[in-house]
Amino acid sequence: MELEPSWGDHDCGCLTTSTEDNTSEPDVFDPLLKITYINDEEQDGVCINSILPDDILERVLRHLPVSTIIKAGCVCKKWNDMLQSARFIQNLPSTSTQNPWYFMFTSDNDPHGHVYDPMLLKWYKFEIPYVEMPSWNIVSSSGLVCFMDNDSRRKLYVCNPITKHCRKLAEPQGPEVSDYCALAISLDKSSKNYTVTIVRSKQAPGEPVDWDLAIDVYSSEKKTWECPVDVNLHAWRGGVDSVICDGILYFVVYLTRTTMGVIRPRNGVLAYDLASGCFNVDVNECVISAPCHVTCMRLINFEEALVMVGGIEKRSGVIKGIGIWILKGREWEEVSRMPNKFFQGFGEFDDVFASSGLGNLIYIQGYGSTALLMFDMNSKEWRWSHKCPATKKFPLQLFSGICFEPRFDISP
């Protein structure tokens, strides 16, 4: 498949950096557009700017797909200024909400990748700003993407990948060392404020079956972190996946208890109400158990309801299928299982895979290739994306990804 012209080829967006200071206020990085403009002096033909009044031209541009609007900003300075104006962004029609794009990247030292637009069925070269390493923990909500380093787990950024606006958050207050860490972000679409949470789990000293669990909560409105939960859980530990749905933080937990010398893990989900701040430490009573033996659990927000994607029937290190469930009360209701023809289409498939979703779309990807499968929660249809132009540079190279909603009107 021929690679579509990339936004990078037009030099349409990069991130400026600033010197980090020691103040308590987070750093804010503003976008700097470096555009090679087409000569505004017309050589031949008729200039559309001389035919359409500015207000009519602006109305036309508002109804273009997001990727087309971005490339339209590279036509000339006048168009770029128009598309970046507050009036244009504020007057974008509500129907312009796009299906989530999927950003696929490699796990090596190059954070660049490709993004898939399911509306136009096209891939573009793309870069999410300020991701120093692709192995960083990355999550999204609506038009925002949040990422955190995997070393200290204290460097956090929130950005809009479309506008390239990026904010560095203050360091969280919770424990500096953790064995497992789960990151989540949620945007309030009415106020445009967002909440970032980190669930940290660390084995208690001298207690092999006890785990210390802490939850850090960041409010963009207050610009501060709080640590409302810092408890000890008996025989349960946190995982690496969490999501916020309708003000409730859900995070994966695993039971690891020794019975007659055999460790028998069991997984499930715990819920924490961000508004009330109440947390019941009796995990055995509160845990929402997985519907079956599920591996590689991924939690997704579907219209403020909790959806889980997971591998099923794991045997000899190989999963036999992938299922999708939605939480109804405290019970999981199966939505769909991946048809065998799609499961086999991934080729060799081990017990781990990437999965993320927003809106009505869920994306599933194996780490070993660029094959990308989509599931529509509304129509219950499975379909492949167009082939990604990325190729392996070496046999053991891995790929991962995250989806996000392309929006112009959200800023961190």
Q: For residue 15, is pLDDT > 50?
A: no
Q: What SS3 state is found at 287?
A: coil
Q: Looking at the whole model, is its pTM more than 0.75?
A: yes
Report DSSP letters for 116-156, one per residue.
EETTTTEEEEE--TT-S-TTSEEEEETTEEEEE-SSSS--E
Cβ-based burial of 328 (10 A; exposed 0-12, middle 13-18, buried ≥19): exposed
230-271: per-residue pLDDT in tens? 998 888 899 999 999 999 999 999 987 755 454 555 789 999
> Most distant CA pair in the chain: distance in Å?
84
Q: For residue 30, is pLDDT > 80?
A: no
Q: What distance in Å separates the CA atoms of residue 340 and residue 382, rounded to the nearest whole number?
A: 11
**Predicted pLDDT of residue 332:** 95
Cβ partners under 8 Å of residue 39, min gap 6? none
Residue 84 is classified by DSSP as H
Q: Fill in the amino acid letter for 293.
A: H
Cβ partners under 8 Å of residue 377, min gap 6? 302, 307, 335, 357, 360, 361, 362
**Predicted pLDDT of residue 85:** 82
Q: What SS3 state is found at 54?
A: helix
**Predicted pLDDT of residue 399:** 86
307-361: per-residue pLDDT in tens? 999 998 766 667 888 999 999 999 999 999 999 999 888 876 666 888 999 889 9
Ordered alpha helix ranges (H), 245-318: 283-286
Q: What distance in Å separates the CA atoms of residue 406 and residue 292, rounded to the nearest whole number?
A: 35
Residue whose token pair is 């036509």: 75
Locate 193 and state its tokens.
């404020």
Contact between 184 and 162 under an 8 Å Cβ cutoff? The reply is no
Domains of the chain plus CATH, in order, are: 8-94 (no CATH), 97-404 (2.120.10.80)
